[in-house]
Amino acid sequence: MTENGDELGRLLLAATPLGDIDDASPRLRAALADADVVAAEDTRRVRALAHALDITIGGRVVSYYDHVESARTPALLDAIRRGDTVLLVTDAGMPSVSDPGYRLVSACIDAGLPVTCLPGPSAVTTALALSGLPVERFCFDGFPPRKRGARRAWLDSLLTEQRACVFFEAPHRLAECLADAADVLGAQRRAAVCRELTKTYEEVVRGTLEELAQWAVGGARGEITVVIEGATRAAADPAELIGAVEELVESGVRLKEACAQVATAGVSRRELYEAVLAARRG
């Protein structure tokens, strides 16, 4: 309750369709019509969504995207204190999951204001379900670093991660990202690339990281979600595998190919290649 006895409003976080408009829940439809304030990542998109659902937005519509989150949050908190219901929606999926929302949720919690959620579509859980990989345990990493060095360091952190990893990637960076993943995590680590989920041209491509990296060279368009299976065991010591590599080399196999054949989960061919060279120098 507020100091003057008026009832507090609340913040509603609502998941919006990824593509198929029929995924809009009845609760989302009602909230769009009834909320006092609709805070949207893109006001044009939310108006188009309401039009497609044959709903008239009853409240005030304000923009709430990355660059205005900090500036807009205080006014939205004041509206909730006055008793308003504020509905927060992003372009697709669940607010706060690599989309605006965290700052407003955190501010409401700090201020003791009610927050609830209208569950619904999520690219993360949809991709996990469609991947065909063991995903009982998983981690979500948003978007990978854009620069190659930082991206490879991020992939290094996943080398012994036994949980499946799901992340988003831009189409024009997908091929490079998958090639780095194959090099760092091992060519035979399984993965799935999910494109345009729930939309007309939905596509899920499954295979090894090496296969997917080669596929992605041809170009991929649309919204991309990637799932990589977790490591099946803790990292082995590359030194333990050097002998097997050298045996293949003695039989006529090129060093890089020998490393690719011997590399196992937890030891990438790059690590193994560097270990062989270091052993030869030493």
Rounded-to-integer distance, Cα 81 and Cα 211, Å: 54
CATH number of 44's domain: 3.40.1010.10
Radius of gyration of the chain from its Cα atoms, rounded to whole angstroms: 24
Residues 160 and 177 in one domain: yes
pLDDT-derived band at 152, boundaries 50, 70, 90: very high
C-beta neighbour count of 62 within 10 angstroms: 16
pLDDT digits (tens, 9 = 90+) for 98-149: 899 999 999 999 999 999 999 999 999 999 999 999 999 999 999 999 999 9
* Residue matched to tokens 């949980």: 163
HEC profile of 163-230: CEEEEEECHHHHHHHHHHHHHHHCCCCEEEEEECCCCCCCEEEEEEHHHHHHHHCCCCCCCEEEEECC
Please state the rounded mean pLDDT for residues 76-83: 97
Residues 40 and 95 in one domain: yes
Which residues constitute the domain of residue 266? 238-281
**What pLDDT score was predicted for residue 5?**
43
Residues 44 and 111 in one domain: yes
User: 273: helix, coil or strand?
Assistant: helix
Domain count, the chain: 3
Residues 275 and 214 in one domain: no
Residues 158 and 223 in one domain: yes
pLDDT digits (tens, 9 = 90+) for 17-46: 999 999 999 999 999 999 999 999 999 999
* 183-222 CB burial, b ≥16 within 10 A, e <16: bbbbbbbbbbbbbbbbeeebebebebbbbbbebbeeebee
pLDDT-derived band at 266, boundaries 50, 70, 90: low
Q: What is this structure's pTM? A: 0.80
CATH number of 218's domain: 3.30.950.10
Residues 159 and 93 in one domain: no
Residues 255 and 176 in one domain: no
Strands 60-63 and 37-40 come out as parallel
* pLDDT surpasses 60 at 2: no
**C-alpha 168: how far from its chain's center?**
4
Residues 98 and 134 in one domain: no
Residues 115 and 28 in one domain: yes
pLDDT digits (tens, 9 = 90+) for 204-242: 999 999 999 999 998 999 999 999 999 876 556 788 888
Residues 99 and 171 in one domain: no
Using the 3D structure, point to which of 79, 102, 121 is the last residue of a domain: 121
Tell me, yes or no, whether 52 lies in a domain: yes
pLDDT-derived band at 262, boundaries 50, 70, 90: confident
pLDDT digits (tens, 9 = 90+) for 171-194: 999 999 999 999 999 888 999 999
Residues 110 and 130 in one domain: no
Please state the rounded mean pLDDT for residues 166-172: 97
